[in-house]
Structures are given as C-alpha cells and as structure tokens.
Amino acid sequence: MFFNGVREWGDSIIGKPLSSVYGLIHILDVEDIEHPQQLQFIFEGGSNRTISCASNGSALVLRDVAMVESDLGEYGKQIIKDLSGWHVFSDLINKELLSLSAIYSKTEEGVIGLAFYFNGYGNINIINLGDEINVYKHIPEDIQHEEDISFIEVIAKQNES
C-alpha cells in the first residue's frame, strides 16, 4: 500500500522542479525546526503530499491532506512554516527531481524514509527515527549501521533519447 502511494506520487513529480517545502513545526518555547511534525514538498505541476510519522513510531505516512495548525495549550502550538529558505532545503528549490527511493530498515523491518535525488544537488533523505522526522543530505554512518538501511528505487526519470 505504501509503495503504491509513493509510486503514484512519484509519477506526478518525477522530472519536475521543487517549488517549495512547508513544515508543521512544534513551538513550546522555541521552534523545533530540526524535527518537523510533517513536511510537504510542492513540485511544479505535481500533486502535493504530506509526509508524517506513522502511528507505529518508525514508518512514514504519505497523505494528500493539508497540514493543519493547532493550539496545544500548555504544550505549545503547531504552526505551518515555509521551510524553503532553511539551509537544508534552500539549495533544492528549482532543482529537478530525478529519482525517488524508499529507505528500508532491516532493524525495523519496514520503510522508515524517503530519499529524493535532485539534478545538480544530490540526495535529501527524510527519515522517521524514534517518531521524529529527521532530514539528512547524507545519512550518518552510525544510523545506517544501526538501522541496517538499504535503498529501494521507487521511480526514476527515464533518459530521453
């Protein structure tokens, strides 16, 4: 089911430039921009999906629903923030998506993330670790080893002859 959703989304965004990235950010005393609650990648002419942690604490979920801000009372609030200018994403804007892969953890026995490969940039990896979204250009070796990570290509742009 997850792969079908990723493949369907991938079909609509492959070969398209990334326009912007939004995140649902938790604020108590400060913004926790390092671990967004949800992410939304918006591609020119592609369908939008929201990426969030699954209820099992290790997988990711793709949904085609909008992010929603909320007031959590004494526990803070969640706001939607444009993350396009954040150093992790700023170099991706207007870059063409060349491939999309699932990140499989043998330790968790499931898909814990997505790897996006952009023309002229390289990878950006979105991983659920301990029920928190983490974003890496290069997944640290200790995490790769601990999770026993492998990449499963979901879709790639075909070379035009």
Domain locations along the chain: 2-156
**pLDDT value, residue 99:** 94
Whether the CB-CB separation of 45 and 125 falls below 8 Å is answered with: no
Specify the pTM: 0.89
- Cβ-based neighbours of 61, under 8 Å, separated by 6 or more: 2, 51, 52, 53, 54
**What is the spatial distance between Cα 107 and Cα 25, in angstroms, rounded to a whole number?**
28
Residue 161 pLDDT greater than 50, yes or no = no
Whether the CB-CB separation of 73 and 80 falls below 8 Å is answered with: no
pLDDT tens-digit map of 64-121: 888 898 998 998 899 999 999 998 899 999 999 999 999 999 999 889 999 999 998 8
Whether the CB-CB separation of 52 and 37 falls below 8 Å is answered with: yes
